[in-house]
Amino acid sequence: MALILNRRGFLAGSSAMIALHPFSVRAQGNQAHLRIMETTDIHVHVYPYDYYADKQIDTVGLARTASLIEDIRAEATNSVLFDNGDFLQGNPMGDYIAYERGMPEGAMHPVIEAMNSLGFDASTLGNHEFNYGLEFLMNSVSGAAFPIVSANVATKTGETITEDETLVPPYTILEREITDGAGETHQIKIGVIGFVPPQIMNWDRKHLEGKVEPRDIVRAAEAYVPKMKEEGAQIIVALAHSGIGPVEHTEGMENAAIPLAGVEGIDVVLTGHSHLVFPGPDYEGHEGVDVEAGTIGGKPGVMAGFWGSHMGLVDLMLERDGEGWRVASSEVEARPIYERGEDRSITPLVESFEPVLESVAEEHQETLDYVRRAVGKTDAPLHSYFALVADDPSVQIVSNAQRWYIEQMLAGTEHEGLPILSAAAPFKAGGRGGPEYYTDVPEGDVAIKNVADLYLYPNTVRAVRVTGAEVKNWLERSAGMFNQVEPGQEDQVLLNDAFPSYNFDVIDGVTYEIDLSEPAMFDREGAVVNPDTNRIKNLQFEGQPIDPEQEFIIATNNYRATGGGSFPGADGSTIVFEAPDTNRDVIVRYIVEQGTISPSADANWHFTPMDGTTVLFDTGPAAANYLNDVRGVQIAPAGDGPEGFARFVIRL
């Protein structure tokens, strides 16, 4: 179809005037504008809906990203649309299909239905495609109306990489017509090759061991790209479900986008996996990339956020080079679906694209029914009313799930056999959120949406390797939650209002006391202010005092492990495992596997007794319903607190 332009390069006859990209306007007879569009890390977010909170939101959804596609296509003379993987897993719709409805041969996966409705040209596999096993994966992708490629997952390895039998084709060569600046059409062969982190063998060992063998990303590219060239590929696009990491290549690296870009013959690198945005401030100052030029290792590249938050755009000005094409210049953009104001307000920039919503409307409703019904049971209430003063069931279940998960993930690694502890903090614990801002799930059925109450943030699980001394100082940092208390005095204020509850980590797997008569070692920001203090007393592991030199694994989240909160032993350098799964997903899996969970707190910590000393603590009025369940602390009602809170007195 010919595009009719006015003098300013706008599409004529359109209800909304769409500006053609300058490359389309300027292209000469020997030139052509090719726009490459990327989605990545959709994680089954087709609808703009938070199934955990059970409400529509404006920050996610392929249906929102899709509304950009038609206009974006109209801005360019020629375009192709690729997905960069992690589409099958990541929200309750994905779990519903995997655990409830199933994917028998011949069935259609909703995210594949949605992608088919948009006319994707190709996709690759992400690491999360393997979460439900190979049979589920292959049955799901069999319904795709577009090629799905991955060059570094072999079902049978050959003497050389190109002799491997791969799970899906390693690459495809798309034969397309391309229109040049003079309106003449030509044939172009676009090579598309895909890659996934080799760490899938760690993350999904139980599904993959003995069935597939991953290859190094860069080595696979070096093997296959010359073959693609021999088969006539004129432009090669790498769909790298891999992040932007170090410049130098190391064997088996997870985030290999920069050295991958250095492979001769690759023209464009589409990245993902890290759930970040490139070009943009996420990568300001990162070695090997140019945020202004939109280049990764000198090649045009993009990373389009996650969950449909952005549409990645790589615009190429191509020039005829003999019988082929070469990249003369490029521009890169990650176009968002929403805008966040300085006041944290969200303004949607697009509406949902109805054909995408319609394609999965039935599965969306089935997912709503799924998240609203029980997926397990709890034999004790899950509440956080006393989470800041006693070991707590809502924190306990998070710790239990993290520990269960990390035990599986470290099996067969060099870290297997080390004691595994688990650190978790209460998120909904009153404060500025008000007297109703608490987790409160009664004994009995647990629905998936209840998990949002247990874990508010989309963090991912991490494991760090620390010493006994660092375990103690980690807890000293947490103990900044409390004011110093004068022994023998009554009705002193317990909580430090300036200390956020999400930095009050409880570490399970050890027992300890918190001595409130001593000052805090750290200030609110994590700086040491009292180096000789000793709030953490009687710290023991398996009934014996902790050896400061002994090594431990602590299961935690990405925020904490990379330095969030400035905790000793958690500055990013001690990470030994980076999970592909969110803490929320791990909790859901734990509940599904356990059937009935027993989150009753084990009272592994308490305050050091002080004769004749009481402290005051404010919490939600509904806390009175659970007063008899609190272990390890003497607590009683003390009337009304301010602003609708209830006051309790604790006898130390």
- The residues facing 545 across adjacent strands are 540
In angstroms, rounded to a whole number, what is the distance separating the alpha carbons of residues 144 and 109?
A: 9
Q: What is the pLDDT of residues 4-16, one digit of tens each?
A: 333 233 333 333 4
Domain ranges of the chain: 22-368, 374-651
> Where do we find the tokens 């000393």?
613
> Six-digit token pair at 485?
């208390």
CB 41 within 8 A of CB 86: yes
Q: Average the pLDDT over 97-109 and give the result.
A: 91
Rounded CA separation 37/334 (Å): 10
| pLDDT tops 70 at residue 206 | yes
- The confidence score (pLDDT) of residue 344 equals 66
Give pLDDT tens digits for 126-170: 999 998 899 999 999 999 999 999 999 999 999 999 999 999 999
Q: How far apart are CA 314 and CA 39, in angstroms?
A: 12
- Cβ atoms of 28 and 19 within 8 Å: the answer is no
Which pLDDT belongs to residue 15?
37
Q: 422 to each of 3, 174, 399, 465, 568, how far by Cα in Å?
A: 60, 49, 5, 12, 15
What pLDDT does residue 85 have? 97
Pairing type for strands 374-378 and 213-214 reads unpaired
Measure the N-to-C terminal CA separation of the chain; round to a whole number of Å.
80
Tokens of 214: 């991953």
Q: How far is CA 587 from CA 239, 339, 594, in A?
A: 31, 31, 10
Which of the four CATH numbers 3.40.50.1970, 3.30.70.20, 3.30.565.10, 3.60.21.10 does domain 22-368 have? 3.60.21.10
Q: What is the mean pLDDT of residues 165-194?
A: 96
Contact of 221 with 253, CB cutoff 8 Å: no
**pLDDT for 52:** 80
> Residue 95's pLDDT band (boundaries 50, 70, 90)?
confident
Q: How are beta strands 235-240 and 185-195 bridged, if at all?
A: parallel
Q: DSSP string covering 340-357, please?
A: E-TTS-EEESS---HHHH
Residue 17: predicted pLDDT: 56
Three-state SS for 233? coil
- What's the rounded Cα separation, in Å, for the pair 269 and 264? 12
d(CA 600, CA 612): 29
Helix (H) or strand (E) holding 444: strand 444-447
What is the predicted pLDDT for the residue at 328?
A: 95
Rounded (5°) CA angle 347-65-146:
175
Average pLDDT value for residue range 296-303: 98
- pLDDT value, residue 14: 36
CB atoms within 10 A of CB 64: 30
Q: Are the CB atoms for 647 and 618 separated by under 8 Å?
A: yes
Q: Poorest-confidence range of 16-20, 164-168, 486-490?
A: 16-20
Rounded Cα distance between 149 and 166, Å, is 9
Q: What is the pTM of this model?
A: 0.76
In 3D, which of 534, 508, 507, 538 has the Cα closest to residue 520?
534
**Average pLDDT of the segment spanning 176-204:** 93
Mean of the pLDDT values across residues 61-65? 96
Mean pLDDT calculated for residue range 368-394: 89
Question: Residue 601: pLDDT above 90?
Answer: no
Cβ count near 410 (within 10 Å): 21
Provide the CATH topology of domain 374-651. 5'-nucleotidase;  domain 2 (3.90.780)
Q: What is the pLDDT of residues 217-268, one digit of tens each?
A: 999 999 999 999 999 999 999 999 999 999 999 999 999 999 999 999 999 9
Q: What is the four-CA torsion angle of 454, 459, 462, 467, rounded to 10 degrees?
A: -70
Instruction: Check if 22-368 and 374-651 are the same fold.
Output: no
Nearest of 207, 197, 43, 211 to residue 133 by alpha carbon? 207
Q: Element (H or E) spanning 117, and its range?
A: helix 110-118
Average pLDDT over all residues of the chain: 91
* Mean pLDDT (whole number) for 580-586: 87
Q: What is the pLDDT, as a whole number, of residue 1?
A: 26
Distance separating alpha carbons of residues 226 and 85, to the nearest angstrom = 24
Lowest mean pLDDT, pick from 228-242, 330-344, 481-495, 533-547: 330-344
Tell me 416's DSSP state. Answer: T
Q: Taking 50 as the threshold, does the pLDDT of residue 2 lie above it?
A: no
Distance CA 594, CA 588 (A): 10
Residue 393: phi and psi, rounded to 5, are -65, -35
| Tokens at 78, concatenated | 């020629």
Number of H helices, E strands in the chain: 16, 39
State the chain's maximal CA–CA distance in angstroms.
Answer: 92
Per the CB < 8 A criterion, the answer to whether 310 and 65 are in contact is yes
**H/E run at residue 82:** strand 78-83
Helix, strand or coil, per DSSP, at residue 175: strand
